[in-house]
Structure 1
Amino acid sequence: MKYGSGNFFSLPNEIFLLGLNAGELAVYSFLRRCENRKTHQCWPSVKTIGQAVRMSENTVRKYIHQLEERGLIVSEPTTVTTKSSGRRNGNLLFTLSPIGEVIDEYYGQQMAVLEQTSARQRAQRKAEKSGVEFVPSVRDQGA
């Protein structure tokens, strides 16, 4: 197979800091491959993504949803006008978020968890010094 110049895409190193699973990474990588570098948008079909990364359409949809929850992508439905002036659903339009913003949000969430843990530990130490039993709130027990 012969490859021409420009037959590559870049993947930001920071993507590996986010703890993506293999499926999320595969779908995100394919979207990066397809994206317009100026608009950061692409519109491959779920079927095309699935064929490229060897996953079922339902599995691709699951990973798209997870990438949206992580803030890496935004998807919007599109419509297509047929020759007979009918309207049909088109492919999803994917917009890939700037990785710097995603990393900042990720670290912000990590800091919030750390601050909550630190506050809980301070409260526990203060309660122990006062001879009071420390009982974490129901909200704190899930963290």
Structure 2
Amino acid sequence: MKYMGNFFSLPNEIFLLGLSPGELSVYCYLRRCENQKTHQCWPSYKTIGEAVGMCANTVSRYVKKLEEHGLIVVEPTKVTTKAGVTRNGTLQFTLLPPQNVIARHYEEKLAELEVATERRRVQKHLEKQTEKSPCSPA
């Protein structure tokens, strides 16, 4: 019998984004929970924390960081009770395509490289200018 158990995929490039171990743990847990069709899941901070060995406040901080990275969107949900009272529900996590974040990461790195290259070019140009016209003694 071939076991086709529970698993989730994670692009290798996710490790290039500089996520902290905590951010990576929370992200992986959300990927594990996500509905493959809707890319959404609804675990509580407490549930995530129990799964990855963190308190709910720490999970909350890492979730905010993942939102800043553009990997997830978090939205509160509302629940209407039988009595017709609307209350806060669980948080809805939507996992965004990591390819967008990875592409942005590569674009930022390329821009940094272009700036560094331009700095080197200007520095060499200035060095050549200094060699050609040394300062005369006053």
SS in 2 for 1:91: strand
Ranges in structure 2 where 5+ consecutive residues have no aligned partner: 131-138
> In the alignment, what sits opposite 1:65?
64
Moved over 6 A (4+): none
Aligned-partner Cα distance in 2 for 1:63–1:73:
11
Aligned residues: 129
| 1:75 aligned partner, one-letter code | V
What TM-score, normalized by structure 2, do the two folds share?
Answer: 0.83
> What is the RMSD computed on CA atoms of the aligned residues?
1.9
> In the alignment, what sits opposite 1:82?
81
| 1:102 aligned partner, one-letter code | V
Aligned-partner Cα distance in 2 for 1:8–1:22:
20
Larger strand proportion of the pair:
2
Aligned-partner Cα distance in 1 for 2:87–2:111:
44
| 1:14 aligned partner, one-letter code | E
Calculate percent identity across the aligned residue pairs. 61
Bigger Rg, which one:
2
SS in 1 for 2:90: coil
> In the alignment, what sits opposite 1:92?
91
SS in 2 for 1:78: strand
| 1:94 aligned partner, one-letter code | F
Displacement of 1:109 in angstroms is: 1.0
Aligned-partner Cα distance in 2 for 1:69–1:116:
24
* Cα distance per residue 1:64-119 (max 9 Å; x no partner): 11111111111112222122222222222111111222211110111111111112
> In the alignment, what sits opposite 1:125?
124
